[in-house]
Amino acid sequence: MPAEGWIAAARRVLSPNCDSRPAGSGISLALLHSISLPRGRYGGKAIEQLFTNRLDAAAHPSFAGLAGLRVSAHFLIRRGGELVQFVPLQQRAWHAGASRWRGRERCNDFSVGIELEGVDDGRFAAAQYAALVVLLRKLQAVLPLQDIAAHSDVAPGRKSDPGARFDWARFLQQLALAH
């Protein structure tokens, strides 16, 4: 694992919304999400503020339901490909909620959460796919990852991200070619 669980290429923004993984849980799953705050707006600081408990719930009408929410992810990939890391890899980020993958409950225990800046009914930028491939290759080199899944796969009916317009074929082809 990289020094102290941080990926060197990522900008660090420390989130308090994490804790210790259960002993022996291993990290076998990369879990893909999408997020934008407000929905469909890209660039601002609201995602970082949400993950660091500094989001002003009065700053936008859509933020009201986020008041007091304590969530995070290990990584955020911005539209231009910038990589931001909030939680060190050995820690459990709070991104999946009630979830199940291949018969295992509580996906936060054994996954790395990767947020793509976007919406579940929109397209993602080429720079995001490229950054995601680079990140996954780095993670595969240091973690026993066995699977890559969508948030919608581990929480069906409750979550829909990263969405039907996430180009899995493109992403998996790029990942296979990036040796």
**Number of Cβ within a 10 Å radius of residue 146:** 13
Tokens of 141: 């080199």
Return d(Cα 114, Cα 85) in angstroms, integer. 9
Find the helix or strand (DSSP H, E) in which 91 lies: strand 91-93
**Number of Cβ within a 10 Å radius of residue 67:** 10
**Number of Cβ within a 10 Å radius of residue 10:** 20
Closest CA to 151 of 89, 94, 83, 82: 94
Q: Which of 4, 48, 105, 115 is catalytic?
A: 115
State yes or no: is 4 an active-site residue: no
Q: How far is CA 103 from the centre of its chain?
A: 21
Catalytic residues: 115
